[in-house]
């Protein structure tokens, strides 16, 4: 699945731009600066895949990518715009919420959302808000801790435990929390395996 470079399909700013698709789809979301672009890049081995900038003011888009052999993709990857800008204007937050809610509720091939959380910070209020949206849309989701460059460290363990405990009250959450680092590659095989289970054979 990850041997071939994945191909950018398109960026969409509203639901009407989403192409019809039969491919199982997996979406990545997380607070701005959580390490989403780095993780997607590390997973796919493609450096310029996702733009690392999440410049405030830029149009928020969902970027779609094909994963798998050229011509016979096996999985669609949806890169959702980052949430929780510091000092984000209300209009921007509202636009984000509208776009993501519409996507979560109106995208039949969506199989799982990966909610990225910085392993050094744990769940923030805005993450819990997003988890509420995911529960409400009844979309299966899984928390992925990022930047766990020392996965055995006591701090990461604490955040891991606290995150797992917090998930118990969220109906749509996958009970397993993945612990990853784009820098060291830690946890990437597990993440690839999770994606491989969702992809077409």
Chain residues in the site for ligand GDP (CB under 6 A): 30, 32-38, 52, 54, 82, 146-147, 149, 181-183
The residue among 120 and 164 lying less far from ligand GDP, judged by its C-beta, is 120
Q: Report the C-alpha gap between 31 and 127 in whole angstroms.
A: 7
Exposed (0-12), middle (13-18) or buried (19+): which is 48, by Cβ within 10 Å? Answer: exposed
Q: How far apart are CB 82 and ligand GDP at their closest, in Å?
A: 5
Q: Report the C-alpha gap between 17 and 200 in whole angstroms.
A: 24
Q: How far apart are CB 69 and ligand GDP at their closest, in Å?
A: 26
Closest CA to 183 of 131, 157, 147, 138: 147
130 within 8 A of 173, measured Cβ to Cβ: no
The residue among 16 and 55 lying less far from ligand GDP, judged by its C-beta, is 55
Q: How far apart are CB 38 and ligand GDP at their closest, in Å?
A: 3
CA separation, residue 152 to residues 103, 110, 187 (Å)? 36, 33, 12
Q: How far apart are CB 164 and ligand GDP at their closest, in Å?
A: 20
Q: Report the C-alpha gap between 127 and 79 in whole angstroms.
A: 16
Q: How far apart are CB 72 and ligand GDP at their closest, in Å?
A: 28
Q: How many CB atoms lie within 10 A of CB 70?
A: 10
């Amino acid at each position: 699945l990850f041997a071939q470079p994945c191909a950018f399909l398109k960026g969409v700013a509203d639901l009407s731009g989403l192409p019809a698709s039969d491919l199982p789809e997996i979406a990545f979301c997380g607070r701005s600066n959580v390490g989403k672009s780095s993780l997607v890049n590390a997973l796919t081995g493609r450096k310029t895949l996702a733009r690392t900038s999440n410049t405030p003011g830029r149009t928020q888009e969902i970027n779609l990518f094909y994963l798998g052999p050229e011509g016979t993709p096996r999985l669609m990857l949806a890169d959702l715009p980052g949430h929780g800008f510091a000092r984000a204007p209300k209009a921007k937050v509202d636009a984000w919420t509208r776009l993501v809610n519409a996507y979560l509720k109106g995208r039949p091939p969506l199989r799982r959302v990966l909610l990225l959380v910085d392993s050094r910070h744990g769940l923030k209020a805005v993450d819990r808000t997003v988890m509420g949206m995911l529960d409400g849309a009844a979309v299966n989701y899984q928390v992925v801790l990022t930047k766990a460059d020392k996965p055995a460290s006591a701090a990461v363990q604490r955040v891991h435990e606290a995150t797992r405990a917090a998930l118990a009250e969220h109906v749509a959450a996958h009970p397993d929390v993945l612990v990853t680092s784009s820098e060291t590659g830690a946890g990437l095989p597990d993440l690839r395996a999770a994606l491989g289970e969702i992809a077409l054979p």
